[in-house]
Copies of this chain bind each other. A is one copy, B any other.
Amino acid sequence: MNKRQIQKQFTRDKILDSAKQIFIEKGIINSATLQIAEKAGIAHGTLFLHFPNKDALVIGLLDIELLKFSDEIKQLIIETDEIDKLLNQYLNLIKKEEGFFSSLAREMPSYKSELRRKILFRESLIREHFHQVIEKGIRKGIYASVDIPSVLTFLFGTINYYLSLKSSFVHSGSVIEKFHDQTIEIFMKILKK
């Protein structure tokens, strides 16, 4: 990479960093591209050299962040094969980026269907891991033979709900932490024989 390419990449990263900060603070939908540019310390027009339009920026941002998250999850799967430990670790990971996931849960229903599909696809990969761990548990006779997709929708739906209404559930601090124990407890009861 020559000097120009390095500079270009650097600017792109600044835009994405700024977009992420603003995404966490108040979401992307109601934030102006001008504000993102200002926070990144670049001209408004520059943003559109790197992303053809606002949607592309959102997709770019979410793609990167969710990929990072996916990788961390994968690591986690390798390390744990008990569902309560996995769920505990999963919640801890979300908690680490709770602002991000809260904004995501809040705004997702308003995204264009293509982007929503992308996000749900990434979620489905995570579900797949949970699915396998539960399946193994059922085969071993540890868990009741539940309909796995159903119980996972129940689980992920609830977590999504906590995140999307975070500001109504907690004034400051973590929703995930608040509901951490009871979520695991109830989910384990669902799996209980």
Contacts and interface: CB of A to CB of B under 8 A. Distances in A.
Contacts of A147: 182
A120 interface: yes
A165 to B, nearest CB: 6
Interface of A: 27, 29-30, 105-110, 113, 116-117, 120, 146-147, 150-151, 153-154, 156-158, 160-162, 164-165, 167-168, 179, 182-183, 185-186, 189-190
Nearest to A105: B109
A116 B166 CA distance: 12
A106 to B, nearest CB: 4
A110 B113 CA distance: 18
Nearest to A27: B110
